[in-house]
Amino acid sequence: MSSAAERAAALELVARLKSAYPELPDAPTPDLLDHARLVAYLKPVHDVGGEPDAPMKYENKDYEYWEHMTYVMCEVLAWRGIWLSEERRRIGNVDVGRAVYLGLPYYGRWLLAVARVLIEKHHIGLTELSERMAEVQERYVAGLEGKSLEAQPRSQGGGADVKRNSHHLHAVGKGDPQVYAGKAGEPRFRVGDAVVVRELPVLFYTRTPEYARGATGVIDAVAYESPAAEDETWDRPDATPNGSTWSGLPWPISGTATPERHKTACAPKSPNTGCRLR
């Protein structure tokens, strides 16, 4: 059990962590928040391309054991239909917020995503997870002392009663994106078409980098059929390829940009500024 002084020190450390504009107070009143800052707050934090920053030193560091195991857990959850790769990207890269995204190791965010998806999809309860974490802490209260971590599961089962996500169920035995083949109709854009990447409002998640918006180019190839990432990330049962969500865009566009794959990301490049297809 931590002491009062230790808890006070922990709270002081938390108070130093800032992910807001220093010129504004915490939880500013609406009159203090302009549109530009509002857009910045709402921007998905994983879309960092083009943001000014200092160069990072690349280090060819071996992964630690827990990082390998985290990757394995994430892959098993995908293979067994608990989540999609787009769900993992959103939960581990965007939903965590800017401070966690920039502050934790890469696989640290993956590990948080594992816990969150299991809780949100009711495979475990938060109380259950907290109790198990406390048990593990008590088991290694003196550290590993040269021993390896040991799994002590309370039970093991076949998983027949585990609820799988809808995308997994309809793709079993067929594959993804093969399950969507031939379901999208004719592509809206064809090779050689001039297009511009649309500047759509962004909420919660996107795969269209901000720096690519407004970029122009020429269609180089037509991609495979698949739901839009923005719909697939919530495992929508009706997220099927159709007139507005088909992955009919090339990437890259003549090497000038890499827009999101579905039709809503681009519009024809035309003098008619009102021409924006959905």
Tokens of 235: 């495992």
Helices (H), 17-97: 35-42, 65-79, 85-93
Prior bond of 177 cis (ω within 30°): yes
Contact 81, 164 (CB under 8 A): yes
* Cα angle value 238/241/242 (rounded, 5°): 95
Sequence letter at residue 156? Q
Q: How far apart are CA 124 and CA 122, in angstroms?
A: 5
- Alpha-carbon separation of residue 192 from 77, 79, 187, 200, 218 (angstroms): 40, 38, 13, 23, 6
Nearest to 92 by CA among 67, 74, 72: 74
Catalytic entry in 21, 63, 106, 140? 106
Count of residues making up the chain:
278
Is 106 considered catalytic here? yes
* Cβ pair 191, 221 in contact under 8 A: yes
- Strands 266-268 vs 216-218: parallel, antiparallel or unpaired: unpaired
Show which residues are catalytic: 106
